[in-house]
Amino acid sequence: MAIKTIIVDDEQPILSEIEYLLTSHPDLTVVGKFDQSQQALQYVQENPVDLIFLDISMPGLSGLEFADCVSALGLKALIVFVTAYDNYALAAFATPAVGYITKPISQSALTKTLMKVRNLLSSNVAAEEAKVEAEAEKVTQRISVQQGGYLKPLDSQDIIAAYVKEKECYIRTAEGEFFVSMNFTDLEELLPKQSFLRVHRQYIVNLQKIEKVLPWFHSTYLLKMAECPQLEIPVGRSHVQALREALGIK
């Protein structure tokens, strides 16, 4: 992924030097250079930025104050301080900054800092993707089934199991059995994967509705389902391991 980067320093030669050094890192794209911190702050509020190289000693809004503003605004950009003075280090690390490079800047120091930046950005992306996936799973999938002469929408959380019977697809809830006018594979794709598992070529179960797991023939299992005691579901041999992992069976 391209790491969108801006450079903020009141010395034009330093802006050019950092930009030049960054050409050795093709995954970084410099999208802006600013010699005034207020302009840079306005830019990051209006444009997505991944990384900011920031001088600490700036006229007007200092780099430390800039970093505090970024944090207060909830912006996700990572900050690397660039300064000629070692005595700022303690104050710098009291901010959300992830790096501190002293001038003159060496390529080795820059490379080391960017390794940390890349790891942090990768972790952030993975965490965001996991959050999105978790939020998607919270959305209750509704599936419409046939009931008499009309369609009845069901919440997926109310489904105990789905199965094939006489080449037709059915869903079972505590209310009863309902015909579904779709093929079994399409239904499997529609059901939330966090909650549902195919345990047999003809059965999909809601993992939250499994009440008992009984040993059965050839090292397989028979499932007793909550809210429907008469329903017994066999586990196919090729699905045993997946079930054991889903239920934490050692």
Q: Is the pLDDT of residue 94 over 70?
A: no
pLDDT of residue 35: 96
d(CA 130, CA 207): 21
Sign of CA dihedral 172, 175, 181, 187: negative
Residues 79 and 32: beta-carbon distance below 8 Å: no
d(CA 43, CA 34): 9
pLDDT band at 90 (very low <50, low <70, confident <90, very high): very low
d(CA 73, CA 49): 13
**Nearby residues of 2 by Cβ (< 8 Å), 6 or more positions away:** 27, 28, 29
The amino acid at residue 65 is E
Q: Is the pLDDT of residue 205 over 80?
A: yes
- The domains located in the chain, with CATH, are 3-137 (3.40.50.2300), 142-247 (2.40.50.1020)
Average pLDDT of 31-42? 96
**Weakest mean pLDDT among 33-37, 93-97, 215-219:** 93-97
pLDDT band at 122 (very low <50, low <70, confident <90, very high): confident
Residues 63 and 6: beta-carbon distance below 8 Å: no
pLDDT band at 221 (very low <50, low <70, confident <90, very high): very high
Q: What are phi and psi of 133, to 5 degrees?
A: -65, -40
pLDDT band at 141 (very low <50, low <70, confident <90, very high): confident
Average pLDDT of 81-96? 63
pLDDT of residue 130: 63
Average pLDDT of 171-182? 94
Looking up tokens 């306005």 gives 42
**Weakest mean pLDDT among 45-49, 142-146, 243-247:** 142-146
Burial class (CB in 10 A: 0-12, 13-18, 19+), 120: middle
pLDDT of residue 131: 66
Average pLDDT of 128-156? 75
Q: Is the pLDDT of residue 150 over 70?
A: yes
pLDDT of residue 142: 84
Return the SS3 of 63: helix
pLDDT band at 87 (very low <50, low <70, confident <90, very high): low
pTM over 0.85: no
Q: Is the pLDDT of residue 103 over 80?
A: yes
